[in-house]
Amino acid sequence: MRGNESGVVTTRLDEVSKWAQRNSLYPLPFGTACCAIEFMGVVSSVFDISRFGAEVVRFSPRQSDLLLVAGTINYKMGHVLKRIYEQMYEPKWVISMGACASSGGFYDNYATIQGINQIIPVDVFIPGCPPRPEAVLDAIIKLQQKIDRERVKK
């Protein structure tokens, strides 16, 4: 961005939309298990996700642009997750929170999907079982950096 003395700022449209996109992520917490409780901790006052502009939690895929998958996804839930992802409007991003969502975790069995990247694209994986709130905030920052680097999504 470049400004001059008359108060006019010139920039590229892409930069403005990316700036807006990365600083006002609306997360949809697809919370199924333990990680969802930690996500409640991330939202609460001590860790306060709103410092990173992502505190407007929406439970409707139509109103959100960040799908935060927190918890184990089994085969029964898999198609629900895929449909929720498809219902979200572009631009959209996905964070896979915790070992279960990222890789099936220690549920290596008949019921559990071994990583949600088998069914939907994932932008950031967070390790941990469950990850600490700081790790979730780190993922949000990483995602913001990624949005900044990418070509603008329309």
Partner 1 sequence: MADDRTIHTVDDTTLKDLDTEPMLINIGPIHPATHGTFRVFTKLRGERIEKAAVEIGFLHRGFEKISETRKYTQVIPYTDRLNYCSALVNNVAYCKTVEKLMGLEVPERTVYIRVIIMELQRIMDHLICVAANLVDLGALTNYWYFFNAREKLNDVIEALTGARLTYSYVRIGGLAWDLPPGFEGQVKATLPVVTQAIADVTGLVERNRIFLDRTIGVCAIGADEAVGYGYTGPCLRASGVAFDLRKARPYYHYDEFDFDVPIGQSGDCYDRIFVRIEEMRQSIRIVEQALAKLPGGPVNVDDKLVTLPPKARVYSQMEALINHDKLIIDGIKPPAGEVYDSLEAPNGESRAAWSPTSWLR
Taking residues 76 to 115 in sequence order and writing x for each that binds partner 1 by CB under 8 A, - otherwise, the string is xx--x---x---------------------xx-xxxx---
From candidates 74, 119, 123, 142, binder to partner 1 by CB under 8 A: 74
Q: Phi and psi of 28, rounded to 5°? A: -110, 105
CA distances from 50 to 27, 56, 113, 120, 142 (A): 11, 8, 31, 26, 16
Considering beta carbons, is residue 6 or 109 the nearer one to partner 1? 109
Restricting to residues 22-41, which ones interact with partner 1 according to CB under 8 A?
Answer: 30, 32-34, 37-38, 40-41
Rounded Cα distance between 32 and 46, Å, is: 23
Site for partner 1 in 131-150 (CB under 8 A): 132-133
The contacts of residue 89 (CB under 8 Å, 6+ apart) are 62, 65
Taking the complex as a whole, the smallest distance from the CB of residue 89 to partner 1 amounts, in Å, to: 17
Residue 86 CB neighbours (<10 A): 10
Among 45, 62, 151, 154, the residue binding partner 1 under the rule CB under 8 A is 45
How many CB atoms are closer than 10 A to CB 7?
6
User: Footprint of partner 1 on this chain (CB under 8 A)?
Assistant: 30, 32-34, 37-38, 40-41, 44-46, 59, 71-72, 74, 76-77, 80, 84, 106-107, 109-112, 129-130, 132-133
